[in-house]
């Protein structure tokens, strides 16, 4: 079990309040893409061991989606950030 | 040595101390025809059938830890073949038929016990799905029956069938040929039988890199040196994506912790296997007497082999609602395994199009144990003949390009 800090509610809450929504920043290909590119977008995942960048939703709280950088072996959380903060960084 | 009652008797004269090692400890050779990465049940079964059905093939199994130390020794040992779609049913039924003769084939008692598997329904929709699946099973020649609540009460007296609970039981499907097997024995039996056919079983040997040249497999860099092989089969369950990463491609799987736990040993109280998708739990009693209980997946990706306590809590409450008699049973151990979940809840048994000579057998998700012999058998033929075995063909990785998925969430889900 681990706790996640919601960047919107500003509180450290139990993981059960959240829902993991998979790897973050998956780019949707253009409509002119091949079947291989589409299949890759829909199904294939990097699924790394160690540092992952995921989207989590505070589903039993503010219901907003944000980004969690987590170690999926130790469940240590490195950073919790809003999508906006990545945009500003870029 | 062939194991038999006579050998047990003879060894008994010297206090059962004269048994030779079941398989030899070997160091890796410089080259093999086929290397199987992963010494779990599926990997060892693949090696066994490769060596048996393709004589002369030099085969090695590389295991980073010890034989059967991964998911093979961490599952709840349930075996059944009552899947919905033809492709999946054919594959799992092929496996079931191999299970039925496995102890004889391997000359090793895998303690396969066909004590029946019940899948409970708690809603009208559950019951419709059960009827549909039972009919599909019968059309495919798989034994299946629908069991009413009254009949359930008769057959499993300790099951709570009253109406006053949160999710009353409305009926069940039953596969009488389903059951359980001893998972360690499966790993040891396949390892021993494979070694007897000349397979080198190399433990504590981790693959660190793949040597791929011009789209062709050349060999593997391991923690025990470089090993040449132009055919490599990866059977590494939760760590499949890590190996795919070494080969430079991605898989349509996500790794999750899946938890299970056992109680203290008790006198026989439950003679069959009971599973419920709706309330999320399944239970059987091992020959040793402990209740073996399986929970659902942890919902986030992970490689932690632990999982979250609230999943156990959820599962334990479901089991207690189904079996109030278990409410004071104390639990002994809890653990997690890392399972690779595929989007259609079906495995990938396939050559890898990007690399000539590379094959993957993965994506079994929460329910690979039941398929151990069948999976090894069709994967061995896929590697041996360099073309998919007819039963494995629908499970080609290309289905994630063509869209021909085999949606087994209904018959798979938690209930593995």
Mean pLDDT of B240-260: 96
What residue in A sits closest to B300 (Cα-Cα)? A20
Give the predicted TM-score (pTM) of the model.
0.95
Shared-domain flag, residues B357 and B315: no
Per-residue pLDDT tens for A16-35?
A: 999 999 999 999 999 999 99
Shared-domain flag, residues B48 and B137: no
Per-residue pLDDT tens for B21-69?
A: 999 999 999 999 999 999 999 999 999 999 999 999 999 999 999 998 9
Shared-domain flag, residues B142 and B280: yes
Q: A39 CB near a chain B CB, below 8 Å?
A: yes
Q: Is residue B407 part of a domain?
A: no
Shared-domain flag, residues B153 and B137: yes
pLDDT above 70 covers a percentage of chain B that reads 99
Per-residue pLDDT tens for B174-198?
A: 999 999 999 999 999 999 999 999 9
Report the complex ipTM. 0.94
Q: Is residue B10 part of a domain?
A: no
Number of domains making up chain A:
1
In this predicted structure, the answer to whether residue B410 has a pLDDT above a threshold of 80 is no
Per-residue pLDDT tens for B308-341?
A: 999 999 999 999 999 999 999 999 999 999 999 9
Phi, psi of B237 (to 5 degrees): 45, -120
Shared-domain flag, residues B96 and B198: yes
Domain with A36 in it: 3-89
Q: Which of B301, B304, B400 sits opposite A43 (nearest CB)?
A: B400
In this predicted structure, the answer to whether residue B413 has a pLDDT above a threshold of 80 is no
Q: Is residue B332 part of a domain?
A: yes
CB contact under 8 A, A48 and B245: yes
Nearest alpha-carbon partner for B71 in B256, B315, B343:
B256
Number of domains making up chain B:
2
pLDDT value of residue B416:
41
Mean pLDDT of B11-23: 92
Shared-domain flag, residues B232 and B365: yes
Low-confidence ranges of chain A (pLDDT < 70): none
| DSSP states of B96-113 | HHHHHTHHHHHTS----B
- B318, B340, B362: which is the final residue of a domain? B340
CB contact under 8 A, A39 and B310: no
CB contact under 8 A, A45 and B308: no
For residue A12, the distance in angstroms to the closest alpha carbon of chain B comes to: 17
Nearest alpha-carbon partner for B252 in B401, B86, B40:
B401
Shared-domain flag, residues B263 and B171: yes
Domain with B158 in it: 117-178+255-340
Q: Which of B250, B308, B343 sits opposite A46 (nearest CB)?
A: B250
Q: What CATH number does residue A12 fall under? A: 3.30.2270.10
């Amino acid at each position: 079990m681990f706790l996640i800090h919601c960047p919107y509610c500003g509180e450290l809450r139990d993981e059960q309040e959240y829902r993991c929504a998979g790897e973050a920043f998956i780019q949707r290909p253009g409509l002119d893409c091949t079947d291989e590119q589409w299949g890759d977008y829909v199904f294939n995942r990097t699924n790394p061991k160690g540092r992952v960048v995921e989207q989590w939703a505070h589903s039993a709280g503010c219901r907003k989606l944000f980004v969690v950088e987590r170690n999926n072996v130790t469940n240590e959380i490195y950073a919790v950030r809003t999508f906006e903060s990545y945009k500003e960084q870029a | 040595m062939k194991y038999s009652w006579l050998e047990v008797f003879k060894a008994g004269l010297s206090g059962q101390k004269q048994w030779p090692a079941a398989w030899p400890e070997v160091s890796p050779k410089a080259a093999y025809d086929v290397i199987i990465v992963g010494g779990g049940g599926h990997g060892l079964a693949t090696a066994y059938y490769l060596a048996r059905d393709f004589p002369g093939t030099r085969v090695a199994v590389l295991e980073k830890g010890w034989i059967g130390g991964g998911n093979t020794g961490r599952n709840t040992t349930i075996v059944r073949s009552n899947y919905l779609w033809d492709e999946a049913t054919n594959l799992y039924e092929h496996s079931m038929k191999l299970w039925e003769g496995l102890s004889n084939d391997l000359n090793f008692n895998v303690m396969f016990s066909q004590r029946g598997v019940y899948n409970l329904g708690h809603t009208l929709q559950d019951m419709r799905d059960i009827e549909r699946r039972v009919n599909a099973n019968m059309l495919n020649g798989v034994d299946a029956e629908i069991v009413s609540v009254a009949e359930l009460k008769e057959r499993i007296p300790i099951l709570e069938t009253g109406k006053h609970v949160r999710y009353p039981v409305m009926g069940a499907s039953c596969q009488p040929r389903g059951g359980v097997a001893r998972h360690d024995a499966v790993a040891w039996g396949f390892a021993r039988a494979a070694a007897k056919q000349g397979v080198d079983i190399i433990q504590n040997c981790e693959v660190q890199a793949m040597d791929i040249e011009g789209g062709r497999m050349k060999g593997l860099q391991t923690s025990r040196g470089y090993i040449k092989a132009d055919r490599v089969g990866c059977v590494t369950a939760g760590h499949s994506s890590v190996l795919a990463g070494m080969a430079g491609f991605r898989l349509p799987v996500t790794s999750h912790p899946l938890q299970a736990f056992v109680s203290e040993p008790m006198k026989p109280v439950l003679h069959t296997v009971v599973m419920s998708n709706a309330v999320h739990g399944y239970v059987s009693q091992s020959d040793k007497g402990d209740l073996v209980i399986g929970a659902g997946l942890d919902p986030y990706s992970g490689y932690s082999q632990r999982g979250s306590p609230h999943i156990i809590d959820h599962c334990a409450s479901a089991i207690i609602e189904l079996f109030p008699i278990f409410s004071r049973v104390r639990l002994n151990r809890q653990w997690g395994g890392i399972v690779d979940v595929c989007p259609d809840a079906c495995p990938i048994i396939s050559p890898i199009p990007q690399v000539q000579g590379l094959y993957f057998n993965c994506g079994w998700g929460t329910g690979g144990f039941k398929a151990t012999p069948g999976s090894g058998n069709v994967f061995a033929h896929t590697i041996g003949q360099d073309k998919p075995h007819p039963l494995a063909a629908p499970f080609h990785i290309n289905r994630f390009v063509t869209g021909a998925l085999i949606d087994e969430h209904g018959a798979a889900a938690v209930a593995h």
